[in-house]
Each structure stands twice: as C-alpha cells, then as structure tokens.
Amino acid sequence: MDNSTEQKYIRTLKKASDKIKELLAEVNALKEKEPVAVIGMGCRFPGGANDPEKFWNILEQGLDTIREIPKDRWDIEQYYDPDPEKPGKMYARYGGFSDEVDKFDAGFFGISPPEAESLDPQQRLLLEVSWEASESAGLDMSRLKGSKTGVFIGMCSSDYAQ
C-alpha cells in the first residue's frame, strides 16, 4: 500500500472516530434527560431460543447451539470445500440456525400466501418477534397508533433474494 492510500485510510478512520465520539456524547446527554424503559422483548436465536427466557437459559447453561448445517436447508456436500479460497464454495459445515422459520402465519398479519412466499424470512421473523415483544410488554396493539411508543430492532444482512 502506498503512503497516499495509507494516509487516506487514516483520515477516513479519524473522521469516523470523531463522529462516533460526537454521537456518543449526544447519546450520553440524552441518557441524562430521557428515561428509557424496556418493557417487552421478543427474540429468535439458534438452539430453539424463541423467547427471552429460553435464550437466558442457554446463556446460563453455557450451551453451544452451533450445529452442522441441517440437511433440509441445503446440500452441504454440494457447496462445501475446506479451501476458503475456492470460488463458489463455503468452508464451514456448521452454523447457528433458527428452527421453524417456515411456520409463518401469513393470515395473522393480513398477508396473502403469495406475498408471504416472496418475503425475506428475516421480514417474516421480524413481524413475529415484534408482535411477541408487544405482547410481552402487555401492549394493546390497537392502541399503539399515535402513541409515544418506539420499537427498536437489531438485524443484519438481507441475502434472501440472492
């Protein structure tokens, strides 16, 4: 890497670091002014942790929920190669998998079966878990519209369409 490229990376990282510090200061200032109450939770984690209690039990027991790729997901032999550089292949035989992702009740959410088929599984899970978190909080869904209620979601990647 030449010096100018290195300097460019350093400047970019410095800007990002400064911005993070600025945002952290804003968050800390808000913490002092705005109370936050987590009153409901929903989750999906590997190992059958489909609610916060089951997830907590897995953590308390120190269980390893990583397992070999289930045969009903894809044919591991077709895609596996121990060489991480092999194009078009993956070098992992194990992962963390959520169970029963195919059990989405589209009708409950007013979604037609064809529309549900085209939804990314993460979107289907998001709907289910959001509903569960609201129920866990004891919220009446019909009374949320126009209220000062926030829903915060952590989610990454959306590769279903690929």
Number of domains in the chain: 1
Query: What local confidence, expressed as pLDDT, does residue 109 receive?
Result: 92
CA distance 44 to 27: 27
State residue 105 phi and psi, 5-degree precision.
Answer: -95, 85
pTM for this predicted structure: 0.62
Is residue 157 domain-resident? Answer: no
Domain that holds residue 66: 37-139
Q: What is the pLDDT of residues 105-122, one digit of tens each?
A: 999 999 999 999 888 888
CA distance 43 to 36: 19
- 158 or 28: whose pLDDT is higher? 28
Confidence of residue 150 (pLDDT cuts 50, 70, 90): confident
Query: What local confidence, expressed as pLDDT, does residue 153 receive?
Result: 74
Q: What is the pLDDT of residues 32-65, one digit of tens each?
A: 776 667 778 889 899 999 999 999 999 999 999 9
Is residue 48 domain-resident? Answer: yes
Domain of residue 59, CATH code: 3.40.47.10
